[in-house]
Amino acid sequence: MARELLKGNVAMAEAAIRAGVEAYFGYPITPQTELLEWMSLRMPELGRAFLQAESEVAAVNMVYGAACTGKRVMTSSSSPGVSLMMEGLSYIAGTELPAVLIDVMRGGPGLGNIAPSQADYNQMVHGGGHGDYYSIVLAPASVQEAIDLTVLSFDLAEKYRSLAVVLADGNIGQMMEPAELPPMQPLKQSIPEWAVQGAENRDSRFLSSIYINPEEEEVVNIRLVERWNEIKANEVRYKEYYLEDAEIIVIGYGTAGRVAFSAVRAAREEGIPVGLLRPVSLSPYPYEQITQLVPQARALLVVEMSAGQMLDDVNLAVNGQVPVEFYARLGGIVPFPDEILAEIRRVAHEPLTPGADPREGWLQRLKTVVNA
């Protein structure tokens, strides 16, 4: 396959098609709508199911139903729409079904705006829906990675009977860049042993998330935790840049991680020993990999497009052993490389206050940038 100029949303949609998605249910919302539009064209011409639902609530429950049949199935949305989907996501998790969600995050809270954001981190990584469950969450930093992670999300969802989320931001969804699509996979022919397709020549079965006896529900909850432990052991993904001799470790994912990479390269040219760890799987999170970097680090710098939602996870990994500094833009603003470069210089050259909440200093510095 040749590289072609692709828009992120379209690339993720076509990647899902080539990964063999058999049904798509969604609802228009900026900045992910091109994904739905591409599906509306391509799925019917391939004889697969496409439906524009009446709401995100309905869309995710259509996904729930279709997932019960064991077919590859997905939806996509953006932050406010994903909030509406939380009910269905919890039911899908409680029924232990594979399903894929692409969330192209936008500024919030509330209606917010349609610009890129990473403020759904907690909603996707640390829950969202009710009950004890965990989702696999993968965060692309380029159109190519969005394609690759979309394909991977179907495999992981099926392997673990789990929700798999591609957590992109509006930048990834809207950006065009050269990327290579995978070849078209044949549709999955096997029917999982749990799938509901009609009790022809077998005993009847049902799929449900209700376990009215707490003793039974606890067993299911334990199974979900054990499955999650397996996922944690096998599916942590991250990218490392210039880390070998780095004394300042930048942590950022998605678009923020990509912008941070530009800043890290510029800082390297100035002789600052800085490197970048970019988490690709946000859930499971690369805690151990970050912990292992602590002995070589003078300080860490967390960069994100939310108010320290991922910072909390980095702090868990660092456990107060070295200063963790913080920089973020909020509400749909993407930081420029120069802003992050200035932060790297500050961390490299200025005294840091160990133990202080890095958000406090960051807010002061940010106010000089935004004139708030």
Nearest distance in Å: CB 70, other proteins: 9
Residues binding other proteins: number (CB under 8 A): 40
Distance CA 73, CA 362 (A): 42
Nearest distance in Å: CB 52, other proteins: 10
Kindly give the residue spans of alpha helices, DSSP state H, lying in 95-142: 121-125
Does 91 bind other proteins (CB under 8 A)? Our answer is yes
Does 235 bind other proteins (CB under 8 A)? Our answer is no
- Contacts of residue 73, Cβ cutoff 8 Å, sequence gap at least 6: 21, 22, 23, 24, 25, 63, 66, 67, 99, 100
Distance CA 58, CA 243 (A): 45
Q: Output 206 or 214, the one with its CB closest to other proteins.
A: 206
The single residue among 35, 68, 102, 347 that binds other proteins, judged by CB under 8 A, is 68
> Residue 283: beta bridge partners?
137
| Spatial contact of 343 and 303, defined as CB atoms under 8 Å apart | yes
| Spatial contact of 302 and 253, defined as CB atoms under 8 Å apart | no
Query: What number of other Cβ atoms are within 10 A of residue 132's Cβ?
Result: 16
Does 86 bind other proteins (CB under 8 A)? Our answer is no
Q: Output 209 or 296, the one with its CB closest to other proteins.
A: 209
Nearest distance in Å: CB 29, other proteins: 17
Q: Output 71 or 329, the one with its CB closest to other proteins.
A: 71
Element (H, E) at 359: helix 358-370
Nearest distance in Å: CB 105, other proteins: 24
- Contacts of residue 25, Cβ cutoff 8 Å, sequence gap at least 6: 49, 50, 51, 53, 58, 59, 60, 62, 63, 66, 73, 75
Nearest distance in Å: CB 39, other proteins: 13
Distance CA 252, CA 264 (A): 11
Pairing of the two strands 3-7 and 176-180: antiparallel
Question: Tokens standing for 237?
Answer: 């993904």
Q: Output 30 or 209, the one with its CB closest to other proteins.
A: 209
The single residue among 42, 80, 87, 298 that binds other proteins, judged by CB under 8 A, is 87
Distance CA 187, CA 344 (A): 48
Nearest distance in Å: CB 64, other proteins: 5
Q: Output 207 or 333, the one with its CB closest to other proteins.
A: 207
Q: Output 53 or 352, the one with its CB closest to other proteins.
A: 53
- Which residues 123-182 are close enough to bind other proteins by CB under 8 A? none
| Spatial contact of 335 and 306, defined as CB atoms under 8 Å apart | no
Query: What number of other Cβ atoms are within 10 A of residue 341's Cβ?
Result: 20
Letters for 189-218 (x = contact with other proteins by CB under 8 A, - = none) are: -------xxxxxx--xxxxxxx-x------
Nearest distance in Å: CB 71, other proteins: 5
- Say if residue 109 is preceded by a cis peptide, omega within 30 of 0: yes
- Which residues 6-65 are close enough to bind other proteins by CB under 8 A? 22-23, 25, 49, 51, 53-55, 57-59, 61-65
Helix 56-68 × helix 79-94 angle, to 10°: 30
Nearest distance in Å: CB 205, other proteins: 6
Q: Output 61 or 117, the one with its CB closest to other proteins.
A: 61
Nearest distance in Å: CB 321, other proteins: 44
Distance CA 152, CA 145 (A): 10
Q: Which residues bind other proteins (CB under 8 A)?
A: 22-23, 25, 49, 51, 53-55, 57-59, 61-69, 71, 73, 87-88, 91, 95, 196-201, 204-210, 212
